């Protein structure tokens, strides 16, 4: 198994530009998580999908952030417009979940992350 795949691995952009991060979860996993990691705030959960449906997006910082999961093997996190304070490492993780709304989640496996720098 290739594990969770993220692209790009590095992204440098200018303030105001649109940024799209991509994630392919582990095959067979039905839950997908987007995290942001910074020195100041540590690891923060941004949004969680179960069976391609967004369950909780309360961690999404602003309306500039949006996420989609059009099918079980692909998700995107978009920032529009980007700002310097969005600079961080963005991780995608997947797991196998059960129970109502997939709330009983098993081990989360992280992708390699996307290092985003907004100038």
Partner 1 sequence: GENVEQHPSTLSVQEGDSAVIKCTYSDSASNYFPWYKQELGKRPQLIIDIRSNVGEKKDQRIAVTLNKTAKHFSLHITETQPEDSAVYFCAARDSSYKLIFGSGTRLLVRP
Q: How far apart are CA 45 and CA 56, in angstroms?
A: 10
Could you tell me if 109 and 94 are in contact, meaning their C-beta atoms sit under 8 angstroms apart?
A: yes
Residues that bind partner 1 (CB under 8 A): 31, 42-43, 45, 48, 55-56, 91, 97, 102-105, 107-113
Compute the least distance from the CB of residue 110 to partner 1, in Å: 4
Compute the least distance from the CB of residue 75 to partner 1, in Å: 16
Residue 56 or 72 with smaller CB distance to partner 1? 56
CA distances from 81 to 18, 30, 78, 110 (A): 5, 30, 9, 26
Residue 17 or 98 with smaller CB distance to partner 1? 98
């Amino acid at each position: 198994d290739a594990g969770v795949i993220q692209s790009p691995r590095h992204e440098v952009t200018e303030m105001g530009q649109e940024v799209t991060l991509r994630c392919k979860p582990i095959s067979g996993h039905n839950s997908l998580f987007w995290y942001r990691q910074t020195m100041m705030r540590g690891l923060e959960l941004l949004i969680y999908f179960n069976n391609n449906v967004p369950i909780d997006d309360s961690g999404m910082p602003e309306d500039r952030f949006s996420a989609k999961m059009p099918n079980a093997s692909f998700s995107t996190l978009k920032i529009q417009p980007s700002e310097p304070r969005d600079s961080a490492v963005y991780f995608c993780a997947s797991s196998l979940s059960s129970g109502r709304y997939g709330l009983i989640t098993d081990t989360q496996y992280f992708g390699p992350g996307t290092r985003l720098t907004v100038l």
